[in-house]
Amino acid sequence: MSKKFDLSLNLSKTKVLLFGSKNACNQFDENIHVKLNDVNLEVAEECRTNFRHLTSIQISPTQMYWWAVCGLKTPYPHRKVLSKATKTTLCEALVLSHFDFCMPVYRPCLDSSDLYRLQEVQNSCLRFIHGVRKFNS
């Protein structure tokens, strides 16, 4: 709560959300007791954020990868007339924003193949911005 800006949480709507594997969440679920103004907060099982429904951590890196690829395909035909600054802004808005969402939370859940695909998307953005072909070295 921020007394400086006169902001306070609605205690009837405020909940605690645990992130982690099901085993870890089940282990800590009974032991978590968070109080705010002497009110015990409920531990939630799921939440809605940015129009995505999350239950525990069910991240689909493949789906995020295809959203990013589709986001890059939109401005690609116009790559020769766009400035580097515009291309950078488009990459950040249309592509990389899919991966920036909650990255500290789902990053530990990604395996090496998912990280490789993420690196491929980042490399595609760099090639798009700087006008380098895929197999040029």
Residue 130 pLDDT: 92
Res. 56 pLDDT band, cuts 50 70 90: very low
DSSP secondary structure of 53-106: EEESS---HHHHHHHHHHHHHTTGGGTTTS-HHHHHHHHIIIIIHHHHTTHHHH
Stronger pLDDT, 123 or 66, i.e. the higher one:
123
Residue 1: predicted pLDDT: 53
pLDDT band at 84, cuts 50/70/90? very high
Averaged pLDDT for residues 64-82: 85
> Is residue 55 over pLDDT 60?
no
Residues 43-63, mean pLDDT to the nearest whole number: 59
Amino acid residing at 95:
V
CA–CA separation, 73 and 33 (whole Å): 47
